[in-house]
Amino acid sequence: MKETEKSPAKHYYRKRVELLRLIEKIKLWPSRTGVLHGIRSIDRHGETARISTHCNRVFTVTNSRNSRAARWLRNKMFFRVCPACGIPEWKLEKYNSTRFNRHFGSQLAAQRNPNENPGKLDIGNVR
């Protein structure tokens, strides 16, 4: 019996999403030489972040929508995958099926803590 391969579901993200939100979701980084690295950890410090990859490279990036890395991630521009990072095949297939659209898709908004409710007003005993 022939086994059918399941293609990964298409994920849609907004085209103009911030770089750090996109990196936190995708966990991939395109280097300047065109090598695609897997991200181990991201330490955010305001508008900058310190990123460490699985091949033990550490660098600082600035949050931007127009940066080279943001464009390369949206356009899926890379020449090869870092052999030291060991990015699994399923992750590359998922990244390949990801679509970026200007007017449709997730904006990757920051997750709100359900215990905090800043929008709710405590009006007390107002009559």
Q: How far apart are CA 31 and CA 12, in angstroms?
A: 23
Phi-psi category of 27—alpha, beta or left, where left has phi over 0 and alpha has psi -120 to 50? left
pLDDT digit string, tens, across residues 24-36:
888 999 999 999 9
Cα 109 to chain centroid distance, Å, stands at 12
Q: How far apart are CA 115 and CA 95, in angstroms?
A: 33
Q: What is the pLDDT of residue 116?
A: 55
pLDDT band at 9 (very low <50, low <70, confident <90, very high): confident
CA distances from 120 to 74, 111, 112, 127 (A): 37, 17, 13, 18
pLDDT digit string, tens, across residues 81-113:
999 999 999 999 988 888 877 776 666 666 555
